[in-house]
Amino acid sequence: MNTAILALEDGTVFEGKSFGAPTERSGEVVFNTALTGYQEVFTDPSYAGQIVILTNPQIGNYGTSSGDNESRGPFIEGLVVREFSPLASNWRSDAAADAFLSRAGVPIVSEIDTRTLVRHLRTRGVMRGVLSTTRSDRAALVETARSIPTMAGLDLASRVTTNERYEWTHGVDSCSPSELTGTPRPREFHVVAYDFGIKHNILRRLVHSGCRVTVVPALTSAEDVLALKPDGIFLSNGPGDPEPLTTQVGNIRRLIGKKPVFGICLGNQLLGLAMGGKTYKLKFGHRGANHPVRNEITKRVEITSHNHGFAVDPDSLNLNEVEITHVNLNDQTLEGFRHRSHPVFCVQYHPEAAPGPHDSHYLFEDFTRLMREAR
Amino acid sequence: MPRRNDLHRILIIGSGPIIIGQACEFDYSGTQATKALRADGFEVILVNSNPATIMTDPNLADKTYVEPLTRAYVEELIRRERPDALLSTVGGQTGLNLSVELAEAGVLDKYGVELIGAKLDAIKKAEDRLLFKDAMRSIGLETPQSQLVTTVAGGLDFADRIGYPCILRASFTLGGTGGGIAYNKEELVEILERGLDLSPVHEVLIEESVLGWKEYELEVMRDLADNCIIICSIENFDPMGVHTGDSITVAPAQTLSDREYQMMRDGALACLREIGVDTGGSNVQFAINPKDGRMVVIEMNPRVSRSSALASKATGFPIAKIAAKLAVGYRLDEIRNDITRKTPACFEPTIDYVVAKIPKWAFEKFPGADPTLGTQMKSVGEVMAIGRTFKQALWKGIRSLETGRAFGSEKLEKSLITKKLITPTPDRLNYLRFALAAGYTVEEIHDLTAIDPWFLTQMKEVVDFEGELAGTTLIAATREQFRAAKRFGISDVQLAKTWGATEIDVRNRRKELGIKAVFSRVDTCAAEFESFTPYLYSNYDYGDEAEPVDRKKVMILGSGPNRIGQGIEFDYCCCHASFALQEMGVESIMVNCNPETVSTDYDTSDRLYFEPLTLENVLNIVDTEKPDGLIVQFGGQTPLNLALPLKRLGVPIIGTDPSNIDLAEDRKLFGKLLDDLKIPCPENGTATNVEEACAVAGRIGYPVLVRPSYVLGGRAMVIAYDEDMVRQYMREAVSFSQDRPVLIDRFLEDATEVDVDALADGGSDVLIAGIMEHIEEAGVHSGDSSCVLPAQSLSPQTLATIEDYTIRLARALNVIGLMNVQYAIQDGKVYVLEVNPRASRTVPYVSKATGVALPKIAVGLMWGRKLKDYGLATGKLSVPQVFVKSPVFPFNKFHGVDPALGPEMRSTGEVMGVGMNFGEAFLKAQISAGSPLPDKGTIFISVNDRHKQEAVDIGRRFSELGFSLVATRGTANALRAAGLPCKTIFKVNEGRPNAVDLLKGGNIQLAIYTTTGAPAFYDEKAIRRSAVTYRVPCITTMSGARAAADAVAARLRDPIRVWSLQEIHEAKTTVA
Ligand SMILES: Nc1ncnc2c1ncn2[C@@H]1O[C@H](COP(=O)(O)OP(=O)(O)O)[C@@H](O)[C@H]1O
Ligand SMILES: Nc1ncnc2c1ncn2[C@@H]1O[C@H](COP(=O)(O)OP(=O)(O)O)[C@@H](O)[C@H]1O
Ligand SMILES: [Mg+2]
Ligand SMILES: [Mg+2]
């Protein structure tokens, strides 16, 4: 069997069976506990720079289907699983997961004791690692793991953003004759969406809720955005540390108060910084599809989809200006807030789901309501 | 919404006796709910007719009633107890139906009892298939088209519209009777006619078939604030067409993309909201067309179900416990997750392993029953296995089944493969492996079975590897091969078989190579958070999380999957063992693989190992835990089979020495012991060929009882009345050999059978806990006959003799803990039938009748205490009232099976009736067992000549009670000769109208019908069958008939009254 090795910066080394691309990639090693949606994880740009462990031991079972991509292709650096299925069994599948990742040059290591690995990261915190099918010198691999830059301080968003502006018009389509997606709203609003690594399902949901979307590069200036005469501005999810993104934060600061603003994930962190708050790195992040988040306004609990390693420190926010709207019930971290005087709100988790529960779709309706009121 | 403080007393209705489709899972749910509510300061009043349950333990609820689950008795109970609320959702279908009945009858309003859990309209919307379908369509969810028809013609043209095959379900019949799958017009007409005929309302639901679609279940919870969470997704290995209860099921779902899964999740939540189940757990069943993803809703259960139990054990999320808390007002986010402690119960569990459930059937006990699996559940039990991968879980599960046959030694017919794959039966799983080994491709098998190719491919990987292993040897096998084998879930036994080695050779070699099992935790969160509950399963990865604690500890081996002859009674004993150990400050470690049970709740014992009960898996745990003691006497036969091997390997087994347990099973040794003690047993001998058998039988004298060695539950045991029957038995019935001879005993005719449970401390003290007199005469398996405490008809000398024998046997076998002895009394002489130095089926019943938890004391004794430490000494426990235990049979599920009772046990469960006199107790027991006795009408009597005189006495009593009599010619003559008015009717083969016509026409309220002894003739069988079908109680023994007369007298005499166990035993039980 072809072996692959995962080496961590703290010297821990795991060896397993190799699938995917025969190559070597490195990055921050993180774990996701979702039971479904591996393809959405592969293709979520927020995973740029990360080697992903999936705790569901059986991966690949239902293959991949082009309709389920969250971006132009896979962004993960590498995949670590307990058991990988070369066979794809699902009527929608148009490519096996193996081929899907190979084509994108992503290595896979299978037969790994992912539970032990996750418990390791849970106690030590996330760390850098190398996944290699080409080298077997463990010491050398550990060295490489130590040599790669850490996430903190990296501007990954500018690396994954689009080079030029484009229009998005594709709505939500159903995956089965029985899926009830609801009738799309008539096009009513023009939304300019900053692409810091935006997921397609955010765009689909915006269109579904009645928006025409113009996607702009991460560094587009506030003025250029306003020049597009948007009804509202969207701040997307994206990879890595928000702090180095000072230009973006500057732009956002200049947009607050001008137009309704909705931010998700990285967008939420950038808004936090723009409103004078601070962000910090979580020990091992939130990555999964089962996090309970309470809406502090309605007191309803939503089961939500998460993918973030950084978070906004609620104590750093000026609560006269900012109102906390969502809290994570597992660890009380801040999951969402809004501006008290301007139509600006954001959530740390992923209301667009993909993968994950649909409990939070209502936030897109909230956004369109704000735009309607702002007219 | 926090806890409701307007509620104080809550009534919980249990699910009654264990029947097919409703097993221990509702003891699990009722027990969890009761514990949770009491812990929260509520007073809990519990009613359940099943004495073998943990939930009916006097110290679990505040008031515990073991009474019939019928409107009349529960209304009386409500009148006495005045509960504020009734929790309707934790007692299975029985509890739910009774709750509905009480609500609709106005009983709940009359006494101001609020229905909590699910409201009446929600329950009805969910339970009525047509209302349900309309509700689903109204929210845009598809369901298979269907229509209620009342005529064959109507059925035919609806079938023409939806096409064949189609599914038929007769309305209001027992356990799906009268339903089926029609593949063409002819079958439709046939099934439809039968169904219309069997349905009391002459109504059949015809439904569009979605056979072969993928079947799924989602377990959903909802609180009063409308927070909804999915606990677990379950995918059926067997596609639509095989009842979920009979399917191998897998958690989590394996072949759904996130898009499809979320579509199903949305559907489940919408369904719950539309039906309006406002709190608690429900389960929603879906089918998905593998070709285009079309999804239909099959049904939803607005209550805790079998799958909820499975989901709880599979995820570590205690659904029943949480459901109970939600019912009293809590919100999900107000409840804590016990396992992580930090996080709330308001989340969706995620798992990093795979769970497989495999059902267990008992067709061998029901000759004539059709073993085809379909839309009606037929399995009697199930096992669950947890593995890091599906392969590991499945192979572990197969090992947990205790088929009695070494893995791979199943007899498989190559010529049958295709047939066995197309038509699902219990051995389809074996045939899948066999077909793969025989070179069938995944595609071919998928075409024949519609089982998802992913599952088949997983199986193929293992089967192929088994091929590779066959090519090597114990010595040649590499470390990598060993490791792969174990990671695939292949057992040491299977490796040993493949390599012609012993299991222990394989084990040693494996450990030499450093391949050892490790234990991982079930933690609800895939290790994202720390787990504080040692709920463990073995696997062959690297990290070990067992973290054994260094303190005095004892391991308890559970009883594995339910089966006829070994069920919940033994789980009761194991749980009590655990509680007792904890009370003594000893760490209790439970090992079991039955997801339905209380013993596999993570909070029943200090530590839980969810593992197969095999030597290999037990030894792995022993290696890790190094227990100070191991208990094998509480789990029925399963742990006993491991006792000697474990002892040989030096595992410290506490209580009665395994070799003495074994001695009691060994004919020769035991016979010698009885001789030495001068205790009589029926004359007996053994034979290893036909002639020998006839000779032995001839010497002993007919009738004789013949059976193979080493059987349980009276397996393959028959009464032979003459040499021909012996020859036939030896020819057809059994396989025997030099070391497994056929056992032949003189059959004691018309003997009274007695069961005795006793406690002994290895010193000189022996406490007789109960002397149970059987209602049916010896010859009806002890597990199948009703029995009564205290004994009703035994003379003082007989009782004295029984006590004397029991005490001497206990001392001779140096029993430490529990012992069960079966006696038969014929013409005043007491014979020993068998001795089981271990917990017996009757222990829970005796515990409840005496108010003394026998297993608790037994564990103390095993741990070195003496009876006197409990204020007990040699003597006998007394019972304050009359307690009757009656069996419950699954005959309504098995068409064409003769319900006549015999030495082979066939009951699935039991009930207990409590009364001031025997009649009352027996009456209640019969009501609880589902065969209520009439208070007026016509009695049909037909008995063989030996019983004519008794028949006259019984006939007289019934006519005095105001019943009219009909009888077949011979019996009728006898009755008339005695001056009793009586109508003569034809036997089935004599003409019409005959007994069957009368039964069908509802003209007979009770049938008394004894066997002629010889194998049942068609005629007898036909009558007993139709009695079952048309729900007319049918008594097949004279002693049973006598008891029935007492009961009917009681029914006409005594008021409806109920007692809680607490009040019955208030006056602390004293030693008589
Ligand atoms: N329309 C159908 N076509 C094919 N199989 C069906 C259909 N409806 C039910 N079944 C099968 O019958 C089983 C029992 O049906 P269900 O409605 O769940 O009744 P129950 O209340 O006994 O669970 C299901 O598990 C499924 O396998
Ligand atoms: N010699 C006998 N005479 C009459 N009935 C017997 C005799 N031996 C056994 N039986 C009947 O057969 C039943 C089963 O026999 P038993 O030895 O108890 O087998 P098991 O171990 O399955 O309980 C007993 O409960 C009893 O009713
Ligand atoms: Mg069902
Ligand atoms: Mg017996």
Counting ligand 2 atoms within 8 A of each CB, the residue from B662, B719, B782 with the most, and so the one to mutate, is B782
CA–CA separation, B218 and B996 (whole Å): 45
Instruction: Provide the residue count of chain A.
Output: 375
Counting ligand 2 atoms within 8 A of each CB, the residue from B705, B755, B757 with the most, and so the one to mutate, is B705
CA quadruple B614, B620, B624, B626: dihedral, nearest 10: 60
- The residue among B733 and B724 whose pLDDT is bigger is B724
Any ligand 2 atom below 6 A from CB of B91: no
Q: Answer yes or no: do B388 and A358 touch at CB < 8 A.
A: no
CA geometry: angle at B130 spanning B124 and B131, to 5°?
A: 40
Of the listed ligands, the closest to the CA of B375 is 1
For residue B44, name the pLDDT band (cuts at 50, 70, 90): very high
- Write down the pLDDT at residue B608: 98
For residue B174, name the pLDDT band (cuts at 50, 70, 90): low
CA–CA separation, B674 and A91 (whole Å): 69
Mean pLDDT to the nearest integer, B615-634: 98
Instruction: Provide the residue count of chain B.
Output: 1072
Catalytic residues of A: 265, 350, 352
Q: Answer yes or no: do A90 and B142 touch at CB < 8 A.
A: no
pLDDT surpasses 60 at B517 = yes
Biggest CA–CA distance in chain B, Å, is: 86
- Write down the pLDDT at residue A208: 98
DSSP B548-564: --SS-EEEEE---S-BT
Residue-wise pLDDT tens digits, B443-466: 999 999 999 999 999 999 999 999
- For B344, which of A58, A288, A292 is closest by C-beta distance? A292
Contacts of B390 in chain A (CB under 8 A): 58
A-B contacts at Cβ under 8 angstroms: 194
Instruction: Specify the range with the lowest mean pLDDT, choosing from A292-306, B174-188, B260-274.
Output: B174-188
Any ligand 1 atom below 6 A from CB of B241: yes
CA–CA separation, B78 and B101 (whole Å): 14
CA–CA separation, B518 and A148 (whole Å): 34
Q: Are B1027 and B939 in contact (CB under 8 A)?
A: no
Q: Are B365 and B891 in contact (CB under 8 A)?
A: no
CA–CA separation, B90 and B26 (whole Å): 7
- For A89, which of B261, B295, B452 is closest by C-beta distance? B452
CA geometry: angle at B451 spanning B450 and B453, to 5°?
A: 105
- For A353, which of B141, B262, B344 is closest by C-beta distance? B262
Any ligand 1 atom below 6 A from CB of B779: no
- Tell which residue, B340, B520, B600, has the closest CA to residue A55: B520
Q: Report the share of chain B in percent with pLDDT over 70.
A: 97
Residue-wise pLDDT tens digits, A154-205: 899 999 999 999 999 999 999 999 999 989 999 999 999 999 999 999 999 9
Give the pTM.
0.96
Phi then psi for A141, rounded to 5 degrees?
A: -65, -40
Q: Answer yes or no: do B254 and A58 touch at CB < 8 A.
A: yes
Mean pLDDT to the nearest integer, B155-167: 94
Contacts of A121 in chain B (CB under 8 A): none
Which residue of chain B comes nearest to A85, CA vs CA?
Answer: B454
Candidates B271, B294, B352, partner chain A, best to mutate (most A CBs within 10 A): B352
Q: Are B517 and B539 in contact (CB under 8 A)?
A: yes
Q: Does B274 touch chain A (CB under 8 A)?
A: no
Q: Where are the beta strands (DSSP E) in B784-929?
A: 787-789, 816-826, 829-836, 875-876, 882-888, 909-915
Structure tokens at A173: 């389509």
Structure tokens at B501: 């080695």
- The residue among B1023 and B684 whose pLDDT is bigger is B684
Place of tokens 């197309």: B422
For residue B656, name the pLDDT band (cuts at 50, 70, 90): very high
For residue B1067, name the pLDDT band (cuts at 50, 70, 90): low
- Write down the pLDDT at residue B734: 67
Q: Answer yes or no: do B263 and A92 touch at CB < 8 A.
A: no
Nearest CA to ligand 1 atom 5: B241
Residue-wise pLDDT tens digits, B744-775: 999 998 899 999 999 999 988 999 999 999 99
The runs of H, that is alpha helices, within B171-305 are: 185-198, 258-275
DSSP B1028-1046: HHTT--EE-SHHHHHHHHH
pLDDT surpasses 80 at B709 = no
Question: CB-based contacts of B978: which residues, under 8 Å, 6+ apart?
Answer: B952, B955, B956
For residue B1017, name the pLDDT band (cuts at 50, 70, 90): low
For residue B893, name the pLDDT band (cuts at 50, 70, 90): confident
Looking at chain B from residue 320 to 379, which residues have their Cβ under 8 Å from any Cβ of chain A? 332-333, 342-344, 346-354
For residue B1071, name the pLDDT band (cuts at 50, 70, 90): very low
Structure tokens at B806: 């029991």
CA–CA separation, B592 and A344 (whole Å): 55
Structure tokens at A224: 């250029």
Question: CB-based contacts of B678: which residues, under 8 Å, 6+ apart?
Answer: none
Counting ligand 2 atoms within 8 A of each CB, the residue from B833, B838, B907 with the most, and so the one to mutate, is B833
Q: Are B34 and B55 in contact (CB under 8 A)?
A: yes
CA–CA separation, A172 and A157 (whole Å): 25
For residue A105, name the pLDDT band (cuts at 50, 70, 90): very high
Residue-wise pLDDT tens digits, B389-409: 999 999 999 999 988 766 666
CA of B654: how far to CAs of A71, B72, B663, B1049, in Å?
63, 47, 17, 49
Q: Are A373 and A55 in contact (CB under 8 A)?
A: no
Mean pLDDT to the nearest integer, B586-602: 97
Which residue of chain A comes nearest to B259, CA vs CA?
Answer: A175
| CB neighbours of residue A89 within 10 Å | 22
Structure tokens at B271: 């369904």
Instruction: Specify the range with the lowest mean pLDDT, choosing from B295-309, B514-528, B1028-1042.
Output: B1028-1042
ipTM reported for the complex, 2 dp: 0.97
Any ligand 2 atom below 6 A from CB of B703: no
Mean pLDDT to the nearest integer, B557-566: 95
